[in-house]
Each structure stands twice: as C-alpha cells, then as structure tokens.
Amino acid sequence: MTTRRQRQVAELLHEEISLLIQRRARDPRLGFVTVTDVEVTPDLRVAHVYVSVLGNDEEVKQALEGLDHAASFFRRELGASLSLRYIPELDFRLDDSLERGFRIDRLLDSLLEETSADGSDTE
C-alpha cells in the first residue's frame, strides 16, 4: 500500500520528468515519449517511471535506451528543481496498457461482428 508521501513524490516526479522530456531533452529518440505513471518505493530511493512510446518496436527500444542514457541528466535537473532529501534513481519501464486496451477492443469488435453475422444468418 502506498503512503501519502509516496503518492506526493510520485506526482511531483511525474510532472517534472514530463516537463524535462518535453522541454529540456535534446535526444531525438525521446520525441514521442509520454510519462504515464510513476511509482516510488517506500524508502523513496527508486522511482519506476512508466512511459508510453508512439512508434514501432525499434522506435520503442530506441526511446527506452535514450531514457536510460538521460537518467543521470534527469536526476541532476530534478535535484536542482526539487527540495527532496534524496533524488530517486529513475527506472524507466514501458507501459503497454494502451496497446493491451486496443487489443481487447479489437477482440471485442471481432466478437461483435461474429455474433451479428451469426444472427443475420438465422433471419
């Protein structure tokens, strides 16, 4: 269960990292990266940053490599802008929930098409 402090720090990191990616990051691999969620460990030492990347598998891989490469830059910038005792290590992870949602929608649509096709045969 997350504490109030964990949620506060996670929200703050979410906002700041999103702004850093949009405004300060110069890496072209980070062009279509969106921070979807941040989870902070109970000791506030590690932040799992979930990102969504628009593109094919190779572009997703490149974006994650770019984020890992820029993690020290992000931590340095966070240290300058936030008043936290410890700036957490940033662990970037791919958030594939959007893709899973699209897949479920497609499956439901295909089931709906099948049932409507079966229903039209009996009429």
* pLDDT band for position 122 (cuts 50, 70, 90): very low
- For residues 68 and 29, the answer to whether their CB atoms sit within 8 Å is no
Whole-model pTM: value is 0.81
Taken in order 58, 64, 69, 70, the sign of the CA dihedral is: positive
Taking every pair of Cα atoms in the chain, the longest distance, rounded to a whole number of angstroms, is: 70
* Token code pair at residue 51: 């990102």
Counting residues of the chain whose pLDDT is more than 70, the rounded percentage is: 96
Which residue(s) pair with 15 in the sheet? none
Give, as one character, the DSSP assignment of residue 106: H
Give the number of C-alpha atoms closer than 13 A to the C-alpha of residue 34, restricted to the C-beta side. 9
pLDDT tens, position by position, 38-77: 999 999 999 999 999 988 899 999 999 999 999 999 999 9
Mean pLDDT of the chain: 91
* Token code pair at residue 33: 């990266």
Domains of the chain: 4-96 (3.30.300.20)
DSSP one-letter string for 64-86: HHHHHHHHHHHHHHHHHH---SS
